[in-house]
Structure 1
């Protein structure tokens, strides 16, 4: 089983009036993560729509632990924490990558600081009726690569 990991850049337009990354940006980052996960399992959004179903987000929950600022580097971990026939839950961890050098600059170290955890629940639906769509066994199996039922977020 795998965890999808990727890094994100922070842009000036991601910053709110408090000088840190706006809360809404985390929702955008989760959308990027879900898209990357679907691509990683060979089910990009355009392809699943052709197969007769679409993912529909039904809830988002985010807990913020520390602020992130312009100039910081961010990494994201994403996995499927629950998979049912017609729904799924994704879990996320967001880290600030704190890079520091040794006193003589001979060694660079990176430490990841947990800045937020999140969960999103979604259903699979028929695009015409918006009724739940039950994944076929081969479709469900593709998600199994990233399924971690017992992995804790913190």
Structure 2
């Protein structure tokens, strides 16, 4: 299974009043990660939109394990834990520089026809680009937390 990895430094404007990285920053980092993921598979979002298709998020869930502070870096790993012709679940694992798990997360997205504003099935040749990143068994931290929340 392939993954996309990023290293994201913590800047002063990421810090909240408690002194650690604000929750909203994790969502911003996940957006960066999804954009990089789409670029890596050869389907940058701007090129996809030129074809009349856009990925749209319908669910975001984050499980915070440890905090990140100024001077830390988030090491993010991204893969898929579900792939369908209309939707995809993107999984995230974030650690600090020492390898301590900081957060796990997932986002569910659907592909939308921009003219009809309805879900759009991706052609088989597009779906094939996602397949090397598919690992149906997510890390235990993500799977356990998701099953408890349902």
TM-score of the superposed pair, with normalisation by structure 2: 0.91
- Runs of 4+ in structure 1 off by over 4 angstroms are none
- Mark the runs of 5 or more structure 2 residues left unpaired by the alignment: 142-150
Cα distance in 1, alignment partners of residues 140 and 31 from structure 2: 18
Q: 2:120 aligns with which of 129, 133, 139?
A: 133
Aligned length: 141
Q: 1:94 corresponds to which residue? A: 94
Q: 2:39 corresponds to which residue? A: 39
TM-score of the superposed pair, with normalisation by structure 1: 0.89
- RMSD of the alignment, in Å? 0.9
- Mark the runs of 5 or more structure 1 residues left unpaired by the alignment: 99-111
In the alignment, is residue 147 of structure 1 matched against residue 137 of structure 2?
no
Cα distance in 1, alignment partners of residues 41 and 28 from structure 2: 20
Deviation at 1:52, TM superposition (A): 2.0
Structure with the bigger percentage of helix: 2
Cα distance in 1, alignment partners of residues 23 and 129 from structure 2: 31
Q: Is the 8 A contact 2:91 2:138 kept in 1?
A: no
